[in-house]
Amino acid sequence: MSPAESAEPAAPSGESSGASSGASAGASSGASATGEWYRHFGTVDAPGSSACYAEWSTSIAEDPELIRRIDEWPHNKRQPLLMLAAARFLGAQVSPYPEFRSFLDAHWADVSRVVLSRATQTNEAGRCATLLPSLAQIAAAEGRPLALIEVGASAGLALFPDRYGYEFDGAGTDGGAGDGVGVPTRLVPTGAPSGSFPVLRCAISGPVPLPAELPPVVWRAGIDLNPLDVRNPDDVAWLEALIWPEQDFRRERLRQAIAIAQAQPPLLVAGDLNEQLVSLAGQAPADAALVVFHSAVMAYLDAESRERFRSSIAGLAAKRGCHWLSNEGHMVIAQADGSNVVPEMDDARLRGRFLLLHNGQPVAITGPHGQSLEWL
């Protein structure tokens, strides 16, 4: 896994709980702590995924005047990815640091405005590839179509697993699909012209229960503190800005997923997942199999809120019946409250990837952007 894959999911903790390695650096609010945060991002997170972000971030770490300005923001806004995305949102081009620094000088008031009004809400449709086998298993076991609720949905792009194409590549492994070692398994939405949907590529290992077809979804809805609207050009531009400069394939995938969501915008409820889950679940069709899922969200919550969420899920399962898919990573080295987002597996095994749990049971280790799936 490239270090960059671990960098974005670390971002949420920097926004809310102040719990990422960076956030804890930022928490002490000293200029050098912020500098360390940028140095860490530039030397650990960015290299391998974005040479530009690596250079900008390490240079910012050595730029006391800029660090002083960044330190004027609340500490959860000093997060490198947020600041860099804000500059990109405003038009900063890939360039050597001195040019970027001039851009910041010329646009600092606007950078501040964007940083203070936005948050890192990267919406990665690619994660559907790692959820798909579990969703298909659930639909098959229940013998019913699916009703999906994503908590922490951002713009809701992960709510369309039935509308994307997939290429699962088990080259060099047992593939798990039973269709031959090294032969990628392709799945496409029935009737959709090629080019009208993103194809999510995922390297698989272990006995991944690949389905023969995409599971039917009859209802989909999401909850987010700040749902992004795919019909709002500003929100779309922000989603694009959150993708790192050199990751063109992710930008292309994002655009294709956005086009699908624009044609059929998902129901997105604004609010805290703990406040909204039960009432939203009440709107799901009773004859569908309800799946509540989340990716790269739990790092935003403190231990008490995560515990409350687990109780809500248990209540829903007992009362109405539901499945729970959790796809989360450590990413955060230490939560502010000392708790661990993924206590089920230690980081030495995850190595920056996510753990996928079905109803609380670990089933797979997944690439943070959906690029890999290791079935356990």
- Contacting positions for ligand SAM (CB under 6 A): 12, 16, 121-124, 127, 151-154, 158, 223-226, 272-273, 294-297, 300-301
Q: Which C-beta is closer to ligand SAM: that of 100 or that of 309?
A: 309
- Please answer whether residues 369 and 250 qualify as being in contact, where contact means their C-beta atoms are separated by less than 8 angstroms: yes
Pair type for strands 199-205 and 372-375:
parallel
Q: Residue 71 or 162: which CB sits closer to ligand SAM?
A: 162
* Residue number, 66 or 83, with CB nearest to ligand SAM: 83
Q: What are phi and psi of 166, to 5 degrees?
A: -135, 145
Q: Which is nearer to ligand SAM, 61 or 239 (CB)?
A: 239
Q: Which is nearer to ligand SAM, 185 or 276 (CB)?
A: 276
| Minimum CB–partner distance for residue 178 and ligand SAM (Å) | 29
Q: Are 331 and 337 in contact (CB under 8 A)?
A: no
Shorter beta-carbon distance to ligand SAM: residue 26 or 370: 370
Q: Which distant-in-sequence residues (6+ apart) come within 8 Å of 115 by Cβ?
A: 73, 77, 82, 83, 86
Which tokens hold the place of 239?
A: 């989603």
| Per-residue tokens: 351 | 């190595």
- Is the separation of the CB atoms in 266 and 220 below 8 Å? yes
Q: Pick the closer one to ligand SAM by CB: 2 or 32.
A: 2
Q: Shortest CA distance to 55 belongs to which of 101, 109, 22?
A: 101
CB nearer to ligand SAM: pick between 295 and 335: 295
To the nearest whole angstrom, how small is the minimum distance from the Cβ of residue 63 to ligand SAM? 27
Burial of 234 by CB count in 10 Å (0-12 exposed, 13-18 middle, 19+ buried)?
Answer: exposed
Q: Which of 242, 354, 250 is nearest to 294 (CA)?
A: 354
Q: How far apart are CA 318 and CA 135, in angstroms?
A: 20
Give CA separation, 88 vs 42, 122, 128, in Å: 16, 14, 26
Residues 6 or more apart whose Cβ sits within 8 Å of residue 284: 147, 149, 219, 221, 290
Assign residue 76 a region: left if phi > 0, alpha if psi is -120 to 50, beta otherwise?
Answer: alpha
CB of 370 to ligand SAM, least distance (A): 9
Is residue 70 within 8 Å of 78, Cβ to Cβ? yes
Q: How far apart are CA 41 and CA 59, in angstroms?
A: 11
Q: Give me the least distance between CB of 309 and ligand SAM, in Å please.
A: 9
Least distance to ligand SAM from the beta carbon of 338, Å? Answer: 19
Min dist. Cβ of residue 275 to ligand SAM (A): 8
The residue whose Cβ lies closest to ligand SAM is 152
CB of 96 to ligand SAM, least distance (A): 30
- Nearer of residues 35 and 368 to ligand SAM, judged by Cβ: 368
Q: Backbone phi, then psi, for 291, in 5-degree steps?
A: -120, 120
Q: How far is CA 184 from CA 18, 194, 201, 364, in A?
A: 41, 17, 9, 19
Q: How far is the CB of 31 from ligand SAM (least distance, A)?
A: 27
Q: Which is nearer to ligand SAM, 221 or 223 (CB)?
A: 223
As measured in angstroms, the least distance from the Cβ of 16 to ligand SAM is 6
The nearest distance, CB 170 to ligand SAM, in angstroms, is 24
